[in-house]
């Protein structure tokens, strides 16, 4: 790293217990700052990316409770206390946060990369689902006034705030009164790396192409309406993901829908390379899968909302549908099938979201802070 000694930087993240876009961003941070330790509340090597095993992971006291390492949502009532009692001793901490990690106490500067102000506070139905009586919902109801005060106070401790998208930038402004700089998340897909085929032979018609939906199976991801659309269309759809909605979605999936999970990076690359298009009805703060698909020249069919507005050029790299309902998804898929897509134009769009640009901006920010403080705390 240029401009500041690497050992003076630490990385913080909410929890490393799953595989998703946020965890890919953390891996990008480790490549920018390879000597930086990673602070987190919970860590389960079996459930997240294996590359994390190569790094110095420092966990909170919550990690001693094995059930929480496997089911991190059960830890929600305790996460504020866990980050409050964890001190990061580094001159510069880069925080990867979706609502918890910005609360870690730091001895030096705190640069927050925000995916969204806490969904569990500001969009509880999206995070927890609509069921009225659950342990987490009861805990949130009791703790919400305290947690909102805590959340705003922790946001105010940041030296610098970055937002993953313009939609999140506005949300940060509304929640905290902070003007965040937009820094798109990088894609980490390398289309030149080896691929490993996924067995989709049980999927009727897949030899002529299939559609791809990669998502955590959470309520706000709205995978159910995508499945409903493809049940109606009878076109092959591969859904990749795991989460609390899994059983319900599996029961709703018709014969044209195949659900798989816990795939390797090589298998994901194979799916991107061989799919017809990516489909998502999710309320995404950024939306990484369309960019990853674009590295293979594949178009996307997505909800006209949030982060997708920053990443898709309509009728050039993908199509929008206006509401997350199966009829509109079906219509968009039909229109997409009638178009001829230019893979080179789509690949060019993906280049705007390179890891090099992402890393350089953060390195510049750390270096600037380092120089401003005279190289010492």
Q: Where are the domains of the chain?
A: 6-186+354-372, 206-352
Q: What is the pLDDT of residues 258-287, one digit of tens each?
A: 999 999 999 999 999 999 999 999 988 888
Q: What is the pLDDT of residue 128?
A: 53
Identical fold for domains 6-186+354-372 and 206-352, yes or no, is yes
Dihedral (CA of 187, 189, 190, 192) sign: negative
Q: Residue 347 CB: number of other CB atoms within 10 A?
A: 16
Residue partners of 328: CB distance under 8 A and separation at least 6: 321, 322
Q: Return the higher-pLDDT residue of 120 and 272.
A: 272
DSSP 314-359: BTTTEEEESSS-HHHHHHHHHHHHTS---HHHHHHHHGGG-HHHHH
- Give the mean pLDDT of 19-25: 91
pLDDT in tens, 135-151: 656 666 777 888 889 99
Give me the pLDDT at residue 155, please. 95
What average pLDDT does the segment 211-218 reach?
95
CATH architecture of 6-186+354-372: 3-Layer(aba) Sandwich (3.40)
**CATH 3.40.50.2000 is the classification of domain 206-352:** yes
Which has more confidence, 121 or 268? 268
- Give the C-alpha separation, 87 to 105, whole Å: 5
Cβ(185)–Cβ(164) under 8 Å? yes
Question: Is the pLDDT confidence value at 169 over 70?
Answer: yes
Start-to-end C-alpha separation, the chain:
19
Signed CA dihedral, 362, 366, 369, 371: sign only: negative
What residues does 12 pair with on adjacent strands?
Answer: 39, 95
- DSSP H helical ranges for the chain: 21-32, 66-70, 76-84, 119-122, 124-128, 135-155, 166-176, 223-233, 246-252, 265-274, 289-294, 308-311, 326-337, 343-350, 355-372
Q: Mind listing the pLDDT tens digit for each residue in 283-335? A: 888 888 999 999 999 999 999 998 899 899 999 999 999 999 999 999 999 99
Q: Degrees (nearest 5) of the Cα angle 107, 24, 364?
A: 50
What is the tens place of the pLDDT at every residue in 35-94? 999 999 999 999 999 999 999 999 999 999 999 999 998 898 899 999 999 999 999 999
Average pLDDT in the chain:
91
One-character DSSP codes across 82-136: HHHT-EE-SSEEEEEESSSGGGSEESSEEEEEES-S-HHHH-HHHHH-S-S--HH
pLDDT in tens, 149-164: 999 999 999 999 999 9
């Amino acid at each position: 790293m240029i401009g500041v000694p690497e050992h003076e930087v630490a990385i913080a993240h909410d929890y490393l217990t799953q595989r998703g876009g946020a965890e890919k961003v953390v891996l990008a941070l480790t490549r920018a700052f390879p000597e930086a330790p990673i602070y987190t509340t919970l860590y389960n090597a079996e459930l997240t990316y294996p590359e994390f095993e190569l790094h110095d992971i420092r966990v909170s006291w919550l990690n001693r409770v094995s059930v929480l390492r496997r089911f991190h949502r059960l830890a929600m009532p305790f996460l504020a206390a866990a980050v409050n009692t964890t001190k990061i001793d580094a001159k510069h901490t880069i925080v990867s946060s979706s609502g918890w990690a910005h609360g870690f106490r730091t001895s030096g500067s705190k640069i927050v990369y925000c995916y969204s102000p806490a969904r569990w506070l500001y969009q509880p139905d999206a995070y927890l689902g609509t069921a009225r009586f659950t342990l987490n919902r009861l805990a949130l109801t009791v703790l919400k006034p305290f947690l909102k005060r805590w959340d705003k106070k922790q946001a105010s401790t940041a030296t610098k705030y970055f937002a993953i998208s313009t939609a999140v930038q506005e949300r940060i402004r509304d929640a905290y009164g902070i003007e965040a700089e937009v820094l798109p998340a990088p894609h980490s897909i390398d289309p030149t790396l080896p691929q490993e085929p996924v067995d989709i032979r049980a999927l009727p018609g897949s030899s002529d192409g299939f559609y791809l939906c990669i998502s955590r199976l959470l309520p706000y991801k709205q995978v159910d309406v995508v499945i409903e659309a493809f049940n109606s269309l009878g076109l092959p759809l591969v859904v990749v993901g795991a989460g609390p909605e899994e059983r319900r979605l599996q029961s709703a999936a018709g014969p044209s829908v195949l659900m798989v999970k816990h795939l390797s990076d090589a298998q994901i690359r194979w799916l991107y390379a061989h799919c017809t298009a990516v489909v998502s009805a999710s309320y995404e703060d950024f939306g990484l899968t369309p960019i990853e698909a674009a590295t293979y020249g594949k178009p996307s069919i997505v909800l006209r909302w949030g982060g997708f507005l920053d990443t898709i050029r309509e009728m050039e790299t993908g199509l929008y549908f206006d509401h997350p309902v199966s009829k509109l998804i079906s219509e968009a898929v039909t229109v997409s099938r009638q178009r001829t897509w230019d893979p080179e134009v789509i690949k060019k769009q993906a280049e705007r979201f390179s890891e090099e640009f992402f890393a350089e901006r953060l390195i510049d920010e750390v270096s600037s802070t380092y120089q401003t403080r005279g190289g010492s705390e």
